[in-house]
Copies of this chain bind each other. A is one copy, B any other.
């Protein structure tokens, strides 16, 4: 599990670093970014928020646009931002922005040609945290968050792995992928046409049936162009109400799907996670 440092620069007194590594889950070289707050320099082990990005993103979008480092530096939290899919000339792809490279949907693909490399679920749940915890001065306290496709990923992964994360949050998540165009297209390609195999990756389905309750916050802009067709937070809210799940859904007038929205509320999400990450 050797790491190649791609770039590093100081940010809010801590360090932003990018690394390449050979992923065994994905069978390709993957890049990720990590923000290490100032507290990590003194050897203190800091908790980690894993950030899963949306369609077309790499490790860079969140790190460059969310303004999270300021808050992470204050709170003493590391942030890890992986890429959103395997990449490379030998990796299956599609002309659409919403399938293939940049659109891994955080599932383990079972259908050819995707099944060879598209195992983002295993990468995010197992391989990446093992690597991070073996390499950097971080504790095993983890939270998970994400945006849009990554919001789906964060919620779905937290629901499937009780005990692994202290808390979960999402901006503008794809709440019910089995019933929206983005999700149906991706799941058909990656998982095949038998929809019963899709349920394990659907946040609304999982949340309705989940016996383990995790602190969960979702922020949604009400001027988001994808709100009604793709995101459907009302599905999530209904499922949470039915099952008594502790979902804190914050809706924001005038905000859209962009990083201007994320930047406006990332401090609230990080402070939300802090309550659980820093508890003993």
Which A residues are closer than 8 A to B by beta carbons?
9-13, 15-16, 63-65, 67, 69-70, 221, 223, 252-256, 258-261, 263-264
Contacts and interface: CB of A to CB of B under 8 A. Distances in A.
A264 B10 contact: yes
25 contacts: A9-B221, A9-B254, A9-B258, A9-B261, A10-B223, A10-B252, A10-B253, A10-B254, A10-B256, A10-B261, A10-B264, A11-B255, A11-B260, A11-B261, A11-B264, A13-B264, A15-B254, A16-B260, A63-B260, A64-B64, A64-B65, A64-B259, A67-B67, A69-B260, A70-B264
A16 B258 CA distance: 11
B70 A67 contact: yes
A223 to B, nearest CB: 7
A219 to B, nearest CB: 12
A255 B64 contact: no
A12 B264 contact: yes
Contacts of A16: 260
Contacts of A12: 263-264
A263 B9 contact: no
Contacts of A64: 64-65, 259-260
